[in-house]
Amino acid sequence: MNLSPQQIQLLQFIQYNSAELDKELRDEVLDNPMLEILQDTPENQEPQEYDRTDEENNDTLTSEETGELMDRILQDDEETAEDYQLTQSQDTDLSGFPTLAESVDFRKNLQQQIHLLDIDTSQKSLCEYIINSLDDDGYLRMSNDDLLDNLAFYHNLFIAESELQDAVETIQSLDPPGIGARDLQECLLLQLESKHAKTECIQAAFEIVKSHLQDLAQKSYVKIQHQLHLSETELKCAIQLIQKLNPKPVGLNSTAQTKSQQIIPEFVIERIDSDKLNISLATQQVQLKLNKEKVEELDKQKSIKRAGKSQKAALQYLQSKFDSAKWLMEMIQQRENNMLDVMKSIVLFQKKFFLTGDRNDLKPMVLKDIADLTGLNASTISRVTSSKYALTDFGVISLKSLFQQAMSKSDGKQVTNQEIMARLKELVDAENKLEPLSDLQIAVELEKSGYPIARRTVAKYREILKIENAQNRKQNF
pLDDT at residue 90 in the model: 31
Residues of the chain with pLDDT under 70: 1-6, 39-105, 153-154, 156, 196-197, 251-263, 283-285, 405-406, 408-412, 477
Q: Name which of 199, 352, 361, 176 is nearest 252 in CA terms.
A: 176
pLDDT at 340: 93
Beta strands in 234-318 (DSSP E): 258-262, 267-273, 276-281, 287-290
Q: DSSP string covering 173-208, please?
A: TSSSTTTT-SSHHHHHHHHHHT-S---HHHHHHHHH
d(CA 452, CA 445): 9
Looking only at the bridges linking them, the beta strands covering 389-392 and 267-273 are parallel
pLDDT for the residue 251 = 60
Q: What percent of the chain has pLDDT above 90?
A: 23
For the chain, give every domain's residue range: 5-44+264-400, 63-243, 407-473
pLDDT value for 16: 82
Instruction: Give the pLDDT score at 278.
Output: 93
Give residue 263's pLDDT: 66
Say if CB 230 and CB 66 are below 8 A apart.
no
- List, in order, residues 6 or more apart from 331 with CB less than 8 Å away: 6, 9, 10, 13
> Taking the domain 407-473, which CATH number applies?
1.10.10.60
Instruction: Tell me how many degrees the CA angle 189-191-192 measures, rounded to the nearest 5.
Output: 65
What was the pLDDT predicted at 258?
38
Please choose, from the candidates 170, 147, 143, the residue with its C-alpha nearest in 3D space to the C-alpha of residue 158. 147
pLDDT of residue 189: 93
- Distance from first CA to last CA of the chain, Å, rounded? 68
